[in-house]
Structure 1
Amino acid sequence: MSDRASRLRERRNQSKEKAQSQVEPESDSEDRESQESEESKPSKTSKTEKTSKTGETDSSQESTSLKDEQVGTYLYLPEEQRDEMNFRYKMISAEYEREFGESLEKNRHYYPLVIEYGLDCLEDATPQEVREMLEELEY
């Protein structure tokens, strides 16, 4: 549990450093980065060792973090709906990966698709139609 907490703390610190370096002038941020790198060498070394042992690279290092691009939103779904959404994601993701040779990420790609096209479906719905749709869902 403490390993997970330290990884989360390290990610938060990296995000803060990144945000601060974008705001501060380059000369100040370079000085601060060199000081911080000296302070956090053990944690960076251990992270490097972990990636070299597994042979995998951290995807957050290669691309921007999803948290930097999008806003986290939590919602509650009936279990059956959640299961259906997860099942459909697996099917669509497998077909997408087979077709294009790249993965369809659940949070970055799939959820925004579900929401956007769901919103499109509801855009012209009258209140009566919304009520009928809810009744079909058995609410």
Structure 2
Amino acid sequence: MANETGDSVKDRFAQRFGDENDEKAERVKNEQQEKKAEKAKNVKDSKNEKTVNIKSEWTNHSIYLNDELASSLSHNYKRLDLDLDQDYGLSIKKTRHYYPLIVKLGLERLEELESKEVKERIEELEAK
């Protein structure tokens, strides 16, 4: 009977202090994770970049281009990338920077065109 009482007292102490140690370890672990997250955020902010996974966060649009337009698009990308690298030490990503830039500039230009001019451009594309 003495052993049972001694064992039960040990068990109760182990549970009491074991739980406190577990809670403390959990708090320390959470604090470390928060520090890592804050550090990662600071690194991202210091680079002044938005880290966006464009494949999961942007909308996908597939387009079909004739060979001449596709070739022109590719050549202009290479030229622009080289120019930016030589002038500013920058490299642009085709999907993240170049294609959105082409679309944005194209939309801005389309807003300036009269419907007659748009019709003429469409006819030019169809003739090729």
Q: TM-score, with normalisation over the residues of structure 1?
A: 0.50
1:99 aligned residue (72, 75, 87)? 87
More helix by share: 2
Would the alpha carbon gap of residues 122 and 64 (structure 1) be closer, same or farther in structure 2, given more than 3 Å must change? closer
Q: Which runs of 4+ in 1 moved over 6 A?
A: none
Residue equivalent to 1:113: 101
SS of the counterpart of 2:112?
Answer: coil
Displacement of 1:123 after TM fit? 0.7
1:73 corresponds to: 61
- Do residues 86 (structure 1) and 74 (structure 2) align? yes
Paired residue total: 79
Three-state SS of the structure 2 residue aligned to 1:123 is helix
- Alpha-carbon RMSD across the aligned residues, in angstroms, is 2.2
The TM-score, its normalising length taken from structure 2, stands at 0.54
Residue identity over aligned pairs, in percent, reads: 34
- Asked which structure has the greater CA Rg, the reply is 2
Unaligned 5+ segments in structure 2 are 1-50
